[in-house]
Amino acid sequence: MTWNSCSAVAVVVVAFAVPGFTVDTQAQSRPAPAPPAAQMPTNTSAASPAYGLPSLDENTRRGLALQVALDRAGFSPGEIDGAPGANTDRAMAAFKAARGTEELGESYRNPVTTYTISEQDAAGPFAGNIPDDMVEKSKLSSLSYSSLLELLGERFHASPKLLQRLNPTATFAPGEEIVVPNVEPFVPPAPKAETPNANATEKPADAVKASAGNSTSAGPDRAVTVIVTDRTKTLQVQDADGKVVFHAPVTVGSENDPLPLGEWKINGVGRSPAFNYNPDLFWDADPTHAKAKIAPGPNNPVGVVWIDLSKEHYGIHGTPEPSRVGHTESHGCIRLTNWDAMRVAALVKAGTKVILQ
């Protein structure tokens, strides 16, 4: 596999380096067409049969219940914030199209649960304030979470602000029990030690040499197809019968770097990828910058996973900015929240068909 370039940060354009993977960059916002607004549960008790949630108003409780229900049904609204918008509306529209109903049934039950913060959670290590400058970023030994609150937000697919609203008196200390969205907890893959590649060769000037961490071509036995739609800013995984088995919002290309429409294949999956910044590859890079390697971690420019496409320089990957997924543009790559990117990675393998439309 060859690893290429496309970046995931605002202002500074960067190049990713992992054998066969690419990286993408933030660009200016371009609104996508808005689907019909999703119907929130009318029974406000459905927003919290287990907890009164006095810190949330009625609309937020209902919005939280809807977002959690969609997430649990496999139709991700992206980051859960209790304020449904376009991503939630598109998830509900996709659910209705796939299931023929808007009734989420048991998924509405118990949208929140409790979690006790462990000593291991609080121990980190945490990166603190992560600089925007790529060279300064490369000086960090790990692109881990910046804080315990950010770690807990990603674990429960939620915005840190929502966690604070759910727990207005919490100090977020070890041993403390907090209220969290009742979703499958996400834990990022641990970075893998790099091993020398005996077959590694220098790449052409338009590519970058890098490390993919835990790279694998293994995947599920069943055949699936990944479909990314630019117009709706969504990704769907369909089985051989055309049934949608997963849906999520994505950030895709821009006017200057459009999504490469067509049919492609997945080369492989790299978890905990490193990121090699090469300023020579981008017209708007800081001319004073030198090449720099950025360590793996959830705040790496491509998040915690890279799914390499047969289209050179393009891939599907995570992001350190989950709140921006579906609301901004990229340099052609397909970006999801870290937890959604890992869910896609678990469904695909080398050879899986990817349709970009």
The full DSSP string for 204-270 is: PTTS-----SEEE----SS-EEEEEETTTTEEEEEETTS-EEEEEE-BB--SSS----EEEEEEEEE
Query: HSE-up of 350 (CA within 13 Å, CB side)?
Result: 10
Instruction: Return the CATH number at 342.
Output: 2.40.440.10
User: Is residue 248 in some structural domain?
Assistant: yes
User: Is residue 315 in some structural domain?
Assistant: yes
∠ Cα 17 222 317 (to 5°): 25
Q: CB of 102 within 8 A of CB of 184?
A: no
Please tell me whether residue 277 adopts helix, strand or coil conformation.
strand
Number of folded domains in the chain? 1
Q: What type of residue sits at position 312?
A: E
- Beta carbons within 8 Å of 193's beta carbon, 6+ residues apart: none
Burial 39-48 (b: 16+ CB within 10 A, else e): ebbeeeebbb
Nearest to 304 by CA among 259, 331, 344, 265: 344
Helix, strand and coil in the chain, % to nearest 5: 20, 20, 60
Domain that holds residue 348: 214-356
* DSSP annotation of 190: P
Q: How far apart are CA 94 and CA 75, in angstroms?
A: 7
How would you write the pLDDT of the chain (357 residues) with one tens digit per residue?
334 345 433 322 233 333 333 333 333 344 555 666 776 665 544 544 445 688 888 889 989 999 999 999 999 999 999 999 999 999 999 999 999 998 898 888 889 999 999 999 999 999 989 998 888 999 998 999 999 999 999 999 999 999 999 999 999 999 999 999 999 999 999 876 543 333 222 222 222 223 334 444 445 667 999 999 999 999 999 999 999 999 999 998 666 567 789 999 999 999 999 887 878 766 667 888 888 888 999 999 889 999 999 988 788 999 999 999 987 655 458 999 999 999 999 999 999 999 999
User: Is residue 80 in some structural domain?
Assistant: no
User: Is residue 159 in some structural domain?
Assistant: no
Q: CB of 63 within 8 A of CB of 110?
A: no
User: Is residue 295 in some structural domain?
Assistant: yes
Pair of tokens at residue 89? 């509306």
What is the predicted pLDDT for the residue at 2?
34
Q: CB of 18 within 8 A of CB of 301?
A: no
User: Is residue 60 in some structural domain?
Assistant: no
Residue 315, H or E segment: strand 315-317
User: Is residue 196 in some structural domain?
Assistant: no
